Structure 1
Amino acid sequence: MKFERGFNVTVSALVFLLLFLNSSFQSQAQQIPTSTDIQTMRDLPGNIHVGPLKIHPGVSVTESYTSNLFKVEDHKRGSLITTVSPGITLQLPIRRHFFQIDYHADIIEAKRFHKQYDTDSHFVNGILNLDFNRLTILAGDNWESNSTPPVNKIDIRQDYLQNRAFCDISYRLATRYKVTGFYRNTSRNFDDFRSPFDPTANPEWDNYMENDMGMDLFYRFFPKTSVLFEYGFTHRNVTDRGLPDTDRDSDSHRYWLGFMWEPTAKIVGTIKGGYYQRNYDGGGNSKDWSGFAMEGDLKYKLTSYDTFTLKGFRKLLETSVTESHVPGIAPGLYGTYYTSTGGTLCYTHRFTYKISGIGEASYFNDDYREKGSSSKRREDDRFAAGISGLYQIQDWLGFKLGYRYTDNDSNVDGESYRENLFLGTLSLSF
């Protein structure tokens, strides 16, 4: 039991580190992408329950120091940051079925630049899994109240509400075949509260509604390995304010091949990729794009003490309309979209039941496909590496120390930056 709980906490720390790494790369110049990944059910420690209902409260406190709070080129504005993250998860198993709902918050306060940086974000996630042997239904909703970070000391956060509903229906045709139909609906709505850094830019220009649907066909050719074919269609509806660069409605198609390894195998996860095409409506400045895209998330358990995790992707992401310096006349500062390619390799080693170490390295390339109003095609190469240690003091109490270095090299003046980040986290979960 101690081994299982310690391993679960180690994996949780790994996931936290990856999420923290990704969140630090966000900036207002690059609108935060919305992942198509859905929340999955979690195996949590703890023994608080009311009848069949399991209750898992928890809280973590992170004290960190960043040498570059706004991710700017001069990297002279460092600050201590305190993050308090309370939460609670409710789980209700019903025979072969399962229902889970959780709430958590991130309350962030910086020692400097309070007005620009401080915020509180809230997240509510629900998931329902219905298992009828051959037929399974996975449905749920992810809601969040969040914000984009400021880019300098006179900027502000841009608050938004986001909701994502999803449904997967799978049917096992025979011992080797399975077909899955999926649907996602995602919307994001910003407040009309304008930054003094650029009061002409309305955050609501970045509002959107996106519908993604498609089908996966799996064929199992080894006991724990399947080949898959995926077709997906995505319609993205962006708020049109009557300006040239706000007419960004698009239809996308993807035709992907890949492999999936089931959880009981030594290697677990999915990798898939292939042809991707996006067609924009003719009324705007956006040009169509087609090419190779992929995504992969693999975990390899080398031994009972050593685990490797590899995540990679190549995808097309939208830039932020509000970054246009001349609204209504020129397109966005760096065009409509960019291709983002990269990945993260993470290694976790369990020294004892209570002590684990994590090392990770990441590389990302953001290639902006249009010049936009800057009259220059931007390209960023971003490297990051970090190390952290986890000490599981008790089953319900853990402590982590970590360091991460990030170097973003851009061909556009003012967009390069470096950051040193130190952090310590104390977490309690029941």
Structure 2
Amino acid sequence: MNRLTTACLLTPALLAAPACALDPQPVNIQGLQFYPSLLLGERYDDNYREAAYAAPSSWITTLEPRLRLVAEDRNSAYRLTYAGAQQTYHDDSSASHLDHRLLLEGILEFTARHRLTLKAGYSRLEETASTAIPGVNDEYSLRTFGATYRFGAETARNNLEFAANHERLRFHDDSLVNAREERDASRLGVTWFHRIGGTRALIETRYEDFDYVQPDSPLNSHNLALLTGAVWEASAKTSGRIRAGYQRKEYDDDGRDGLESPMWEIGLDWEPRSYSRFSLTTRQAYDEGDDGADAIKQTRTRLDWRHEWSERLSSTLFVGAARLRYQGLDREDDLSSAGLTLTYQPRRWLELALGYSHWDNDSTVDRERFQRNLYTLTATGSL
């Protein structure tokens, strides 16, 4: 899986509700709001290396403190978030590791027509699955810097949005395959929104430049995508965001053929009842390579159903499917997944969760096939 995609997926919007249903009370520190929480979890993973044969299994204890500091006034808001996760593998001490994630976000509204969003993050992570050296964790860090400027009032018929982002991926292990993937990525985007009733039609252009650390890397390239679509909240029950168009990747090496493909990003939410929501997401695009591939054409679809059975008890069910075509390798994977999580909140400040997830990867390369089951029990507490 592409690590830039993995590390940056679904970064929470500034001042959005926490991922869990907790309603934490802040501590006031010199006008700043401080939200601490702690997750303690136990899980059993029957194939944490995603191995085709002799799959290793282990009980894993997770201790994850989360710290959030919020400052806001009339025209601006800032949030600093830190999460550190200690993963202890009881049957394989070499897989145990400590992850760090730090994210700083800010929103500045200069006037009703001028809005600037800023983001800077740093992550130091380890992965146990599909590693470059069998049985050895992949260790890497990811630095991100981004800014988005929107011109036009929220209620205006037309808006323009300009986005810039830079990412720096570095590995901290001895794998030559991983060293090949170290890179800097710069992204620029321009989106025009046009309001039609409760719907905003859009046209978007994206440019990405990938500069690899390895001297004269044949993977240096740039992507260009042109998308059109819409964002809407047509009623209290439905909302959606659709972007579809075409993407082309050109390599700096003139001797390498470019890649091109239809591209889409779609998210649809349907709430037949206030306590029940279905969410469908699907995406197709070229992402940067992994496991020795020049690039990966990914087509992913996932359906989630969240249902609140009572004030304290809820469930989340998901099913997913993905097709990954590895460019430059004779490899194609079909990955299916499913899972169920039950969440119980006996107190405002305490949440208990019990979950099960299953993955099944069918690959044209025998050693890349695997099945994986994960059983989890977590408790999250706050003030």
Fold similarity call, TM over 0.5: yes
In the alignment, which residue of structure 1 is the partner of 2:138? 158
In the alignment, which residue of structure 2 is the partner of 1:301? 271
**Structure 2: distance between partners of 1:121 and 1:182:** 28
CA apart distance, 1:203: 3.3
CA apart distance, 1:156: 1.4
Structure 1: 5+ residue stretches without partners: 1-25, 196-200, 324-331, 372-376
**Structure 2: distance between partners of 1:259 and 1:145:** 36
CA apart distance, 1:268: 3.5
**Structure 2: distance between partners of 1:297 and 1:57:** 31
CA apart distance, 1:140: 1.5
CA apart distance, 1:262: 5.0
In the alignment, which residue of structure 1 is the partner of 2:148? 168
SS of residue in 2 equivalent to 1:302? strand
Instruction: Render the CA deviation track for 1:121-159: whole Å, top value 9, x for unaligned.
Output: 101111110122111110121111112325479531232
Q: Structure 1 residues 129, 263: closer, same or farther in 2, change over 3 A?
A: farther
Residue among 170, 184, 204 paired with 2:179: 204
Residue among 41, 46, 62 paired with 2:24: 46
Is 1:392 matched with 2:370? no
Is 1:267 matched with 2:267? no
**Structure 2: distance between partners of 1:146 and 1:83:** 14
- Once the two structures are overlaid, the 10-residue window that deviates more, 309-318 or 118-127, is 309-318
In the alignment, which residue of structure 1 is the partner of 2:229? 258
- Bigger share in strand: 2
Is the CA contact 1:52–1:93 (under 8 Å) kept in the aligned structure 2?
no
- Once the two structures are overlaid, the 10-residue window that deviates more, 256-265 or 335-344, is 256-265
**Structure 2: distance between partners of 1:158 and 1:419:** 19
Is the CA contact 2:50–2:129 (under 8 Å) kept in the aligned structure 1?
no
Instruction: Render the CA deviation track for 1:300-350: whole Å, top value 9, x for unaligned.
Output: 222111011222111112223xx5xxxxxxxx3xx4112110121100110
- Once the two structures are overlaid, the 10-residue window that deviates more, 255-264 or 131-140, is 255-264
Q: Structure 1 residues 39, 352: closer, same or farther in 2, change over 3 A?
A: closer
**Structure 1: distance between partners of 2:236 and 2:184:** 38
Match runs of 1:176-215 below 5 Å: 176-191=157-172, 193-194=173-174, 201=176, 203-215=178-190
Q: Structure 1 residues 154, 382: closer, same or farther in 2, change over 3 A?
A: closer
- Once the two structures are overlaid, the 10-residue window that deviates more, 61-70 or 265-274, is 265-274
Is 1:230 matched with 2:204? yes
SS of residue in 2 equivalent to 1:237? strand
Q: Structure 1 residues 128, 263: closer, same or farther in 2, change over 3 A?
A: farther
Identity of aligned residues (%): 21
Q: Structure 1 residues 357, 139: closer, same or farther in 2, change over 3 A?
A: same
Is the CA contact 2:308–2:314 (under 8 Å) kept in the aligned structure 1?
yes
Is the CA contact 2:49–2:135 (under 8 Å) kept in the aligned structure 1?
no
Residue among 191, 215, 218 paired with 1:216: 191
CA apart distance, 1:274: 0.5
Is 1:403 matched with 2:382? no
Letter in 1 for 2:41: T
Structure 2: 5+ residue stretches without partners: none
Residue among 52, 68, 77 paired with 1:98: 77
In the alignment, which residue of structure 2 is the partner of 1:111? 90
Match runs of 1:114-129 below 5 Å: 114-115=93-94, 117-129=95-107
SS of residue in 2 equivalent to 1:33? helix
In the alignment, which residue of structure 1 is the partner of 2:319? 361
In the alignment, which residue of structure 1 is the partner of 2:250? 279
**Structure 2: distance between partners of 1:273 and 1:212:** 18
**Structure 1: distance between partners of 2:356 and 2:254:** 47
With the length of structure 1 as denominator, give the TM-score of the two structures: 0.81
Letter in 2 for 1:273: A
**Structure 1: distance between partners of 2:102 and 2:235:** 30
Letter in 1 for 2:63: V
SS of residue in 2 equivalent to 1:248? coil
CA apart distance, 1:104: 0.6
**Structure 2: distance between partners of 1:36 and 1:355:** 27
Match runs of 1:306-321 below 5 Å: 306-320=276-290
Is the CA contact 1:150–1:156 (under 8 Å) kept in the aligned structure 2?
no
Aligned length: 373
In the alignment, which residue of structure 1 is the partner of 2:258? 288
- Bigger share in helix: 1
**Structure 1: distance between partners of 2:270 and 2:328:** 38
Instruction: Render the CA deviation track for 1:88-115: whole Å, top value 9, x for unaligned.
Output: 0011111132111111111111111211
Is the CA contact 2:356–2:376 (under 8 Å) kept in the aligned structure 1?
yes
Is the CA contact 1:75–1:418 (under 8 Å) kept in the aligned structure 2?
no
Is the CA contact 1:38–1:166 (under 8 Å) kept in the aligned structure 2?
no
TM-align CA RMSD = 2.2
Is 1:349 matched with 2:330? no
CA apart distance, 1:36: 7.1
Match runs of 1:61-140 below 5 Å: 61-74=40-53, 76-115=55-94, 117-131=95-109, 132-140=111-119
Q: Structure 1 residues 112, 264: closer, same or farther in 2, change over 3 A?
A: farther
CA apart distance, 1:380: 0.7
With the length of structure 2 as denominator, give the TM-score of the two structures: 0.91
